[in-house]
Amino acid sequence: MKQMTLKLKMLIILVLLNLSGFCQMDSIFFHNGKLEEAVVKKIKESTISFTYKNEQAARSVSSYAIERIKFASVREERFTRKVEVVSDSNWHNVVILNNETEAEGLTKLCELEGHTAFINLHTSHTGAVKAREKILKSTAQKKAIFLLITKEEEIVFTTIKFWGLSQHKIKGIAYSY
């Protein structure tokens, strides 16, 4: 009888140990210092979907926000390096996002605009470059790391594009970790 209860206890312990292996969570290390314990469901090109323990709702986060993931299987995968923008002189470090999904899970800071003057000494191409530089510098001044460009336009003041008679405007949203 004692042997039977000992075997039964051992069987229960083994089953519980085996079940605890299924309950292990993945560790998600974010660039902002947060560490989340979750189950990674899907890794796409620009987003990572995961669920928290005992939840069914999936959450998607930009891969730019994640440094690395340590999976329950002990495998570790690195995603992005941390980008730092500490002053407006670091405007070259600002990352331009291609679409809204790349901004998922990032912190929205503000909306920005960059433009050339009404009358300027720029060609069509250099006007666009100057407007982009201005909005990137504004992004860096806000200590934002990412810029999602929402609108880009050229306003021509005459029916013929003369040198300096067009204005470039760029609007965007600044994000951080």
The 10s digit of each residue's pLDDT in 11-53 is: 666 555 554 445 589 999 999 999 999 999 999 989 999 999 8
Distance between CA atoms of 14 and 20, rounded to whole angstroms? 10
11: number of Cβ within 10 Å: 10
The confidence score (pLDDT) of residue 123 equals 72
The 10s digit of each residue's pLDDT in 129-156 is: 889 999 999 999 999 999 999 999 887 7
78-89 mean pLDDT: 90
The confidence score (pLDDT) of residue 4 equals 61
Bridge partners for 42 per DSSP = 49
> Strand 95-97 to strand 146-156: parallel, antiparallel, or no bridges (unpaired)?
parallel
Lowest mean pLDDT across 21-30, 41-50, 92-101, 103-112: 21-30
Average pLDDT over the chain reads 85
Band (69; pLDDT cuts 50, 70, 90): very high
Domains by residue range for the chain, with CATH: 2-78 (2.30.30.100), 88-176 (3.30.110.70)
Bridge partners for 62 per DSSP = 47
Distance between CA atoms of 49 and 47, rounded to whole angstroms? 7
